[in-house]
Amino acid sequence: MVLSAPATGPKYPERVGVPEVRFGQSVGRREVDEVTWINASVRAFAIVLYFVVFTVWLPDFVLGLGFVSGGSDLLRDLAVSAVWGAAMVVGMVGLRLAQRRGLV
């Protein structure tokens, strides 16, 4: 006994509300300017520099402050984690806003 699909009806159901996208076309997006290698390199360097400074150097600097380094282990962990987390959130939100404006 061989099971087969019914002979009536379309082979694939129609997809309602899904736009057809063809290779090389942009649907619902604005045109983006050409980006040179130098421009892209400067932008990438700025992004990496931000994350290195504010997620590596700044938490280490806060760890070396007198009131943080003299406190308990919990205080040090919380202070450094808060600085690192804030830097990550600000960086990620900044990247998203820059993407929306077409900067990155």
Tell me the per-residue pLDDT of 25-71, one tens digit each, with 9 for 90 and over.
555 555 556 778 999 999 999 999 999 999 999 999 998 888 888 88
Q: Residue 59 CB: number of other CB atoms within 10 A?
A: 19
Cα distance between residue 15 and residue 98, in whole Å: 34
Which ranges in 1-104 belong to alpha helices (H)? 37-52, 58-64, 66-69, 73-100
Return the number of other C-beta atoms located less than 10 Å from residue 90's C-beta. 12
Residue 7 has pLDDT above 90, yes or no: no
CB count in 10 Å sphere of residue 15: 8
